[in-house]
Structures are given as C-alpha cells and as structure tokens.
Amino acid sequence: MGPRHHPGPKKQAPKKQALLCAAAALALPLAAGCGGSGESSGGKTPEPASLKELAEQTDCSVTGKRKVKDMEQGNCKNDLGKYVLLSFTTDKNMNAWLTEAKPWGGVYLVGSRWVVVSQEKTLQTIRKDLGGKIVHGDKHSWGDKDGGHGSGGH
C-alpha cells in the first residue's frame, strides 16, 4: 500500500512554481534587511544573534536545544507564549531553511541569521524585543478536492 498523500505529477509543477515564487519574494526583503539601512519594525535593527542571546532577549529558558553544523534550535515557553528559536551561521543557511519550511505553512519572525516560529500573535509580541520581519508560510486547504484522501491508488 503506497502513501495516500503522494502528489501526482499534475500537482508538482504548480507547487514548484509557487515555491520558487515564494522564495524569490522572500529573498528581496531579506536582502534589503542586510543592507545596513537601520530600518526595521519597532525601531530596532536586527543583529545576528546566538540562540542564547535570543533566549535572553525574550526572557526564556531554552529547552530541547539542538545544534548542528550550521544552526542551533531550541524551544521556549513563557508569558509571551510557545515558540521555537533558530540561529544560523550564515544568511545562506537561513534562507535555505526558510525555503524548505515555508511550504509547510506557519508564521516566522525573521531577523539577521535568526528565525522565531510561533503563532502570529506571539510573534508580534516577540518582535518588540527582537525586531525582524514577520513572514507567512504557504496557506493550505485540507481535503478540498478529494476529501483529504490522496489520489494515489496503489
């Protein structure tokens, strides 16, 4: 029995085009944010920050901390809400991560080599402390055409 949610060949081309468009749309604001213009929401200029610094600035104790070669990730829960902090070694690594994450949906607060993932209301509050720009992932509608049952009849 094959996977029930495997996209058929007809659906791959539009999704790929949408992903490329989303990546291009995301790249422009991020590149503009790296120019050092000093402009950001909330009057703060996003700075590259470590996971520890992001946690300190949002007054949280990081749990479930994970570190790999090019990024650190940790979970936070405090009076601001629940959120995930990510810190990257380069802009290229951050942009690659966002390109992979956005098709899954979600809301992201994006700064200079860091991302916070949470609900938009929580990110609006965190943005006051960290600066950055709120970016939305792709929107999904569940089960529109076939009642949520993939088209693979293996």
SS (H, E, C) 59-108: CCCCEEEEEECCEEEEEEEECCEEEEEEEECCHHHHHHHHHHHHHHCCEE
Contact assessment for residue 97 and residue 86, using Cβ atoms and an 8 Å cutoff: yes
N residues, the chain: 154
Return the percentage of the chain with pLDDT > 70, whole number. 60
Q: Please tell me the predicted confidence (pLDDT) of residue 45.
A: 46
| Sign of the torsion formed by the C-alpha atoms of 121, 106, 17 and 22 | positive
**Res 131: pLDDT:** 94
Which H or E element spans position 27? Answer: helix 9-33
Residue 58 CA: distances (Å) to CA of 69, 72, 79, 138? 24, 16, 10, 27
pLDDT tens per residue across span 127-147: 999 999 999 998 866 655 544
Q: Map residue 134 onto helix, strand or coil.
A: strand
Mean pLDDT for 111-140 is 93
Nearest to 51 by CA among 37, 63, 33: 63
Output 150 or 62, whichever has higher pLDDT.
Answer: 62
Residue 82 pLDDT exceeds 70? yes
Position 49 scores a pLDDT of: 85
**Predicted model pTM:** 0.62
Render pLDDT for 2-51 as a digit per residue (tens, 0 to 9).
444 334 334 434 443 433 333 333 333 333 333 333 334 455 544 478 99
